[in-house]
Amino acid sequence: MKIYDGASLRNVALVGHGHTGKTQLISALLYTAGMVNRLGKVDDGTSVTDYDEEEIQRKFSISASLAHAEWGKVKINFLDTPGYNIFLHETEGALVAADSALVLVHAVSGIEVQTEKTWSFCEKFNLPRALVINQMDRDRAGFARTLEALQKSFGRTVIPVQLPSGEEKNFRGIVDLVYMKAYTYEAGGSGKAKEEEIPADLAEAATQAHEALVEMVAEGNDKLMEEFFEKGTIPVEDLVPGMRDAIAARRLHPVLACSGLQNIGSENLLNFVADFLPSPVERGELEGLDGEGGNAIKRKIADDQPAAVYVFKTVADPFAGRVSYYKVMSGTLKNEANLSNFSRGSAERFSHIGVVQGKAQAAIAELHAGDIGAVAKLKDTLTGDTLGDKAAPILFPKVKLADPAISFAIEAKSRGDEDKLSTAVHRILEEDLMLRFSRDPQTKEFLLSGAGQQHVEVAVSKLKRRFNLEVTLKAPKIPYRETIRAKAEAQGKHKKQTGGHGQYGDCWIKMEPLARGAGFEFVNDIFGGAIPRNFIPAVEKGIVEAASKGYLAGYPVVDFRVILFDGSYHDVDSSEIAFKLAGSKGFKKCMEQAKPCLLEPIMNVEITVPDNFSGDIMGNLNGRRGRIQGMDPKGGSTVVKAQVPLAEMLTYASDLTSMTQGRGTYSMEYSHYDVVPQMIADKIVAAHKPSAEAEEEE
C-alpha cells in the first residue's frame, strides 16, 4: 500500500436517507477502482462496508464504516454511514473524520426526512458536499423532478454537473457538463465508461445546463465573472479550478447521477471526487482546546506539526479486542508510535497501524496528516479521545449526542450469567455512545437505554452473537410510590408471653399526610417515660422498614409524618425487636384508615414536530393522560410541551416515529410525583396481589 500525503487524500462521507444506496454504491466504486475483485451486493450480504453480522442480517447499515480506493494519484477514504433514523447518531459521530460529503438521494422517492437531517449535519461540520441522485435505473426514476425538489429545499446553489443519459431501464450513462462529453456504461459491468459525443436529443439540455453551471461558478468569483462577461463563457481550464473553489466555499452544490447496483456512472463519480472535492489539508486549521486551561487553540493540518489523532469509532471484537478508528489530525503517525491520550492522561502504543477496507485491515508504516486508519488493542482509549505528541497537547471537541429516548429492563436469561451481563454490556457501550446502562435504585432493575427499540435490540443481538450471552428485555418497571390522604391513629402492640423469655412492645402513633416530596418525618411526643428512651428509635425503625415495603402494592410509602405519643413497656420482656414489631404493626393499622393511594412519576415532555402533525400529537397526548402546557412555533415546526405520566411514555419513541414518519423528536425529564387515578391504581394493586401472596408463603 502506497503512502499518501494530505494533498492526495479525499475523505468522503456518504450520507442520506436509509435505502438510498450508500453502501451499495461504495461497493461499486471499490470494484471499479480495482480494490476488490467482485461487485459486492448489500442484498447478498457481500457488500464491503455492511460487513457486521447485524448489518448482513438486517440489510442496512447500523454503524459507520470505512473503505478506501486508490484512484489515479489520489486515495479516497469512504465513510459509509447509516441513514436509518435511530442509527443517525453514528453518522453524526463519523462526520468528524470527513472533509466532504456525498448526499445520496433516491431517484424515485426524492427528498426524504433523513436527506434533510443529514444535510443539516453537513452544515454543522461545514462540509463541502455534492448531491448524488442514485438508483437512476429504477422504474419511475426521475432526475428532473428530483433536481427541482432539491433546488427548492436547498437553494439555487444546487446545480447539476451531470445529466443522465436515459432513465429507468434505459439509464445507460451520463453527460458530463464540465467537459461536455457523454459517457456510457455496461449495466452490471466494470464501472468503466466509454466516451462518446453528446447524443443529439440531449445536446440542447446539456448546453443550457452547462451555462447554468458556468454562471453559478462565476457568481462568487470576480475574475471569472469578468471573463464570463467578456467571452460569454469560461474555458474548461478556468472552470475546473473555479468549481473546486466554489465547492470548497460551499457556494456550489453539484448534482450527479448514477446507479450503484448497475455500476453506471462509477468512473465519472470517482473522477469527480478526485478532481473536485477538497483534500484534508485544504481545510486549513482545526480548532481544539489546550491540555490544561481549556483555552481554544488552533492546529494546522500538516505533516510538519506535532502528531495528533482523534478516535471517532471503537469496535469491541471478542477476539481482536478493542479496535480504534482514528483520523490523523496533524503530524505523521508512525507505526509503533507512543502517544499520550490527552483525554485520559495515559500513554498508548500504536502497534500494527493499518488502513481499512470494510472488515479487513492492511498494515502500513505511516499515515500522514488527514489520513484515516485503525489500530487494535489500545488500553483505555475510547471514542472521542484525542491522542498525540506529549509535548503538544490538544483536545478536539467530542460530538454531543442526544439523550437516549427509550429504556428497557434487561436481565440475563440464565442466573449464572448475571456477572457476565455487566462486563459484556460495557464492551458494547464502548462502541456505541448512544447506549446507556444503569440500575434503577428503586426497582433494582438493570436498564439498557437507546435511541429506539430496534437500537436496543441490535445491542441485545450483539451480546448474544459476540459474547454468547442471552438476555431478555422487558418494559422497565415504573417506580411507583404510595402515600396517605387522611390522618389516622392506632395502637401497635407486640406481645408474646407464652413460656420462656417473653416479648413485649406497645406504642400509640398518629399518622398525617405531608406535602408532595417531603418524604418522612418522625416526631417523638412521649412524656413521662411511657416508652423508655432507648426503645424509641426501634419504633421508628419498625415504621421505616414497613413503609419501605409498601402497603398497597409493595411500593415505598412516602410523604407522611408519624407522631409517637404513647405506649407501654414491660421490665423484663421489652426489647428492641419487640418495639420494632410494635412500630410496624402500628404503621399497618394506621394505613388501613389513612386512605392510602399510589403515586406515579410525571414527566416534562417536549416534542418537536412539523406543524402539520401538531394536531395529531396533541390528540395522542390526551389519550396518554397528558396535560398540554404550551405550544410554540419554531421555524416550520411546533414544539409541544406537556406533562405526561411516565407509565404512558414507555413506547413513545416508536409511536412518535410512526405517527410522524420519523420527523418528530422528543425529550423527557422527571417533574414530580402525582396520584394515580383510582381505576388504574386498582389494576396495579390487583397485579401485585399474586406475587405478594407468593412472597408471604416463602
Ligand X SMILES: Nc1nc2c(ncn2[C@@H]2O[C@H](COP(=O)(O)OP(=O)(O)OP(=O)(O)O)[C@@H](O)[C@H]2O)c(=O)[nH]1
Nearest to 634 by CA among 609, 617, 613: 609
Residues that contact Mg ion, how many (by CB under 5 A) = 3
Q: Smaller CB distance to ligand X: residue 43 or 230?
A: 43
CB–CB of 448/437 below 8 Å? yes
Q: Smaller CB distance to Mg ion: residue 55 or 600?
A: 55
Q: Using CB distances below 5 to 8 A depending on partner kind, what does residue 164 bind out of ligand X, Mg ion, none?
A: none
Q: Using CB distances below 5 to 8 A depending on partner kind, what does residue 138 bind out of ligand X, Mg ion, none?
A: ligand X
Nearest to 652 by CA among 683, 679, 615, 626: 626
Cα 254 from Cα 478, distance rounded (Å): 52
Considering only residues 39 to 68 of the shown chain, the ones binding Mg ion according to CB under 5 A are 61
Q: Any contact of residue 23 with Mg ion (CB under 5 A)?
A: yes
- Shortest separation between residue 274's beta carbon and ligand X, angstroms: 21
Cell numbers at 50, concatenated: 455492511
Q: Smaller CB distance to Mg ion: residue 360 or 687?
A: 360
Q: Smaller CB distance to ligand X: residue 134 or 386?
A: 134
Q: Using CB distances below 5 to 8 A depending on partner kind, what does residue 304 bind out of ligand X, Mg ion, none?
A: none
List residues bridging with 637 in a β-sheet.
610, 634
CB–CB of 562/492 below 8 Å? no
Is 559 strand, coil or helix?
coil
Q: Using CB distances below 5 to 8 A depending on partner kind, what does residue 118 bind out of Mg ion, ligand X, none?
A: none
Nearest to 68 by CA among 375, 358, 325, 264: 358
- Shortest separation between residue 94's beta carbon and ligand X, angstroms: 13
Cα 322 from Cα 314, distance rounded (Å): 7
Q: Using CB distances below 5 to 8 A depending on partner kind, what does residue 19 bind out of ligand X, Mg ion, none?
A: ligand X
- Shortest separation between residue 398's beta carbon and ligand X, angstroms: 24
Q: Any contact of residue 114 with Mg ion (CB under 5 A)?
A: no
Handedness of CA 303, 307, 308, 312 (dihedral sign): positive
CB–CB of 697/147 below 8 Å? no
CB–CB of 454/478 below 8 Å? no
Q: Count helices and strands (H / E) in the chain.
A: 16, 37
Nearest to 280 by CA among 373, 358, 372: 372
Q: Using CB distances below 5 to 8 A depending on partner kind, what does residue 327 bind out of ligand X, Mg ion, none?
A: none
- Shortest separation between residue 261's beta carbon and ligand X, angstroms: 3
Nearest to 484 by CA among 431, 531, 551: 551
Q: Smaller CB distance to ligand X: residue 61 or 584?
A: 61
Q: What are the strands of the beta sheet with 471-474, ordered from one edge?
A: 436-439, 446-450, 406-412, 471-474
- Shortest separation between residue 92's beta carbon and Mg ion, angstroms: 15
Q: Smaller CB distance to ligand X: residue 43 or 197?
A: 43
Q: Smaller CB distance to ligand X: residue 84 or 272?
A: 84
Binding site for ligand X (CB under 6 A): 18-24, 42-43, 60-61, 82-84, 134-135, 137-138, 259-261
Considering only residues 436 to 465 of the shown chain, the ones binding Mg ion according to CB under 5 A are none
- Shortest separation between residue 90's beta carbon and ligand X, angstroms: 10
- Shortest separation between residue 70's beta carbon and ligand X, angstroms: 22
- Shortest separation between residue 30's beta carbon and ligand X, angstroms: 13
SS3 content of the chain, % helix, strand, coil (to 5): 35, 30, 35
List residues bridging with 110 in a β-sheet.
106
Q: Smaller CB distance to ligand X: residue 168 or 489?
A: 168
Residues that bind Mg ion (CB under 5 A): 22-23, 61
